[in-house]
Amino acid sequence: MKTMTQGDTRVAHLPTGSYYSPSGEYDEMHRRSIEDPEGFWAEQARSLDWMKPWDKVLDWKAPYARWFVGGKLNLSYQCLDRHMKTEVKNKVAFYWEGELGDSQVLTYAELYRLTNNYAAALKRLGVKRGDKVALYLPMIPALPIFMLACARIGAIFTVVFSAFSGQALADRVEDVEAKVIVTATGMHRRGKILPLKDNAVEAASKCPCVEKIIVVKHTGHHVEMDPARDVWLSDILAECDEYVAPEEMDANDPLFVLYTSGSTGKPKGILHGTGGYSLWIAKTLQWAFKTDAQTVWWCTADIGWITGHSYVVYAPLELGLTSVMYEGAPDYPGIDRWWQIIAKYGVTTFYTSPTAIRMFMRHGEEWPAKHDLSSLKMLGSVGEPINPEAWLWYYRNIGHERISISDTWWQTETGGFMISPTPGIQAHPLKPGSATKPMPGVDVAVLDADGKELPNGQTGFIVIRKPWPGMLLDIYRNPELYEKTYWSRFPGYYLPGDYCMKDQDNFLWLLGRADEVIKVAGHRISTAELESAIVGHSAVAEAAACSRPDEVKGEAIILFVTLRKGTTPSVEIKNELTRHLRATIGTLATPEEIFFVNLLPKTRSGKIMRRLLKAVATGATIGDTSTLDDGASVDEAKAAFAELTDSAHHYKTSEKKPDIK
């Protein structure tokens, strides 16, 4: 597969030319949003239902932005109560499709009733405003309902992706100090049942903060219940058929914590607020996908990630859209499961990841061709850079060369889309592989290592020069890390940690991470996290993680391990370490290859020579590492390289299907 090229391959038949001229609506709107952010956002915020209006649009004391200061609202009210007075009330909110082929239709009225009941259930178990709840659930309706119920009573929730292990769940539950874990008996994945309840019990037994586990009956298998701690959702709901008034939340009250990987061994809790976040996600969804009352929206992301929080649950409900939600794997039971679902529900607007597109590309265009995809009007992509070849495959075989693609660049920290085509403002010329232009309110620059703005055509660090309403409030209980990670390298500017290039037409090309974060099938994981997990195994002395480009998953994990005395490299120990990683982190931590070496290559000051590792992992030669920037001399690097290649025993892990985000 070709690597990303930044060619000017405009998709010619879409409206071009005048679009980005100074008189264009997009340019005008973007200019206003940057020149007068407060006026611009005050106007936009009128689309929300405020319980009390704000006193001040923006309070910016870098690096903390507080939007709509003094304003009061409730996000579950925005998503539900508000619609009870309009025709949206009886509209479908979710078409839910189970992996086994079962399905469920939830109208807004039904979702409203259930959210009230779930909120009552949480209250009955003693959950109060400001308490923390961990949601460890598969893609079933109970997950969005609990998220809405938490928002309703002002409980701060953290969703933990269901493919994370019991240990990874425990780490998050402990950090957030959750009082309650909500889980299901299990989940379906490619015909197997995964034991979520068992993992929740493991986490609860390690975390004294947990008082209750609420269990949703989903899979039929038997689970042990501890009567002092565990409750069936169905039992408690039987007593909770009532209305719960939505709490008046402050615009800057925390809504949720979502853990994501950074540069340390421990995931950090990204804290999002209520007012700015609600506004940002609803507006960006309209702008990037031109949604309207007829939209049937399907975002394939798991709710365990920010994409699912913002664009499976909250923004579509705020806008009163009909959505599809699917429980299972994209290729189960057949490669065409997704295309079948699009045809079944008449999906108009489809949003997925490059990894998924590349996987389907590999299986061939005959699979989507079997299904009627004529309902589609808009496509989207997210999670990692999309290579032009995959973009064009998507454009041709799913969009039939007639519809626009919004490649949306953003992050857990940004809350919602930051860079994307905005056909909801004005039709767009596109370039395959480019996320195009910043959203209104997003002030982008590309800087060199010294903080100087680079001319068009050169690659550097992307920064955002102004706060935007969806910006994270903080890192949960770690303001020092917040300041250090995002604001210290270029003071006053938000640093996302990606490379970027602005081309001659001012189109932006996002070129991957500039830090130690790896993107495996769109999942974010750091080398430090992998290293700290692997050295937790008693056979391991030292370890270093890096990545290698992968045709489908974007990047694959490669580990370098030195074993303790008495253990010799073998297939068994490789399998054992792989199992250990999956148990400590989850399936997404599965390494593609493990190299057992005598010594990790280090500089005199003790820094691991990561570029050398990468050269070995990708089969490059020592010549390719001439840009070694970790302080090693060329001789030192050469010696280390020779030692590494001589001593390495490497083992490939059997090919696994990527767990699509």
In the complex, which residues of this chain contact ligand WT7 (CB under 6 A)?
Answer: 260, 305-307, 382-385, 407-412, 435, 496-498, 510, 512-513, 519, 524
The position carrying tokens 């806008």 is: 319
Q: Which residues contact 511 (CB under 8 A, 6 or more apart)?
A: 4, 385, 459, 498, 499, 500, 501
Q: What gap in Å lies between CA 543 and CA 531, rounded to an integer?
A: 6
Three-state DSSP class for residue 54: coil
- 3-state secondary structure string across 350-392: EEECHHHHHHHHHHCCHHHHCCCCCCCCEEEECCCCCCHHHHH
Burial group, residue 460, by CB count within 10 angstroms (0-12, 13-18, 19+):
buried
- For the sheet containing 156-159, what is the strand order? 230-232, 212-216, 180-184, 132-136, 156-159, 256-260, 268-272, 474-475
Instruction: Output the smallest distance, CB 161 to ligand WT7, in A.
Output: 11
Instruction: Output the smallest distance, CB 659 to ligand WT7, in A.
Output: 14
Instruction: Output the smallest distance, CB 160 to ligand WT7, in A.
Output: 14
Q: Output 197 or 268, the one with its CB closest to ligand WT7.
A: 268
Q: What gap in Å lies between CA 154 and CA 254, rounded to an integer?
A: 9
Q: Output 249 or 357, the one with its CB closest to ligand WT7.
A: 357
Instruction: Output the smallest distance, CB 223 to ligand WT7, in A.
Output: 31
Instruction: Output the smallest distance, CB 539 to ligand WT7, in A.
Output: 31
Instruction: Output the smallest distance, CB 266 to ligand WT7, in A.
Output: 16
**Bridge partners of residue 183, in order along the sequence:** 136, 215
Beta 322-326 vs 296-299: how paired, if at all? parallel
Instruction: Output the smallest distance, CB 385 to ligand WT7, in A.
Output: 4
Q: Output 215 or 588, the one with its CB closest to ligand WT7.
A: 588
Q: Output 337 or 519, the one with its CB closest to ligand WT7.
A: 519
Instruction: Output the smallest distance, CB 5 to ligand WT7, in A.
Output: 15
Structural contact between residues 133 and 180, judged by C-beta atoms closer than 8 angstroms:
yes
The position carrying tokens 């409900």 is: 317
Q: Output 497 or 591, the one with its CB closest to ligand WT7.
A: 497
Residue 63: asked if its preceding bond is cis (omega within 30°), the reply is yes
Instruction: Output the smallest distance, CB 258 to ligand WT7, in A.
Output: 9
Q: Output 72 or 523, the one with its CB closest to ligand WT7.
A: 523
Q: Output 498 or 659, the one with its CB closest to ligand WT7.
A: 498
Instruction: Output the smallest distance, CB 524 to ligand WT7, in A.
Output: 4
Phi and psi based region of residue 187 (left: phi greater than 0; alpha: psi -120 to 50; beta: remaining)? beta
Beta 540-550 vs 523-526: how paired, if at all? unpaired
Burial group, residue 215, by CB count within 10 angstroms (0-12, 13-18, 19+):
buried
Q: Output 284 or 625, the one with its CB closest to ligand WT7.
A: 284
Q: Output 254 or 383, the one with its CB closest to ligand WT7.
A: 383
Which of 206, 218, 153 minimizes the C-alpha distance to 181?
Answer: 206
| Dihedrals phi, psi of 555, to nearest 5 degrees | -135, 150
Helices H / strands E in the chain, number of each:
20, 31
Give the CB-nearest residue to ligand WT7. 412
Burial group, residue 550, by CB count within 10 angstroms (0-12, 13-18, 19+):
middle
Q: Output 127 or 464, the one with its CB closest to ligand WT7.
A: 464
Q: Output 307 or 348, the one with its CB closest to ligand WT7.
A: 307
Q: What gap in Å lies between CA 71 and CA 139, rounded to an integer?
A: 33
| Dihedrals phi, psi of 644, to nearest 5 degrees | -65, -50
At residue 391's C-alpha, the angle toward residues 386 and 392, to 5°, is 155
Instruction: Output the smallest distance, CB 180 to ligand WT7, in A.
Output: 26
Instruction: Output the smallest distance, CB 389 to ligand WT7, in A.
Output: 15
Instruction: Output the smallest distance, CB 190 to ligand WT7, in A.
Output: 23
Q: Output 336 or 498, the one with its CB closest to ligand WT7.
A: 498
**Length of the chain in residues, anyone?**
661
| Dihedrals phi, psi of 285, to nearest 5 degrees | -65, -45
Instruction: Output the smallest distance, CB 42 to ligand WT7, in A.
Output: 27
Beta 132-136 vs 64-69: how paired, if at all? unpaired
H or E element at residue 508: strand 508-513
Q: Output 437 or 519, the one with its CB closest to ligand WT7.
A: 519
Instruction: Output the smallest distance, CB 588 to ligand WT7, in A.
Output: 11
Q: Output 146 or 409, the one with its CB closest to ligand WT7.
A: 409
Q: Output 426 or 434, the one with its CB closest to ligand WT7.
A: 434
Beta 296-299 vs 132-136: how paired, if at all? unpaired
CA neighbours within 13 Å on the CB side: how many for 29? 20
Report how far apart, in Å, the C-alpha atoms of 155 and of each of 75, 89, 119, 246 are: 12, 25, 10, 11
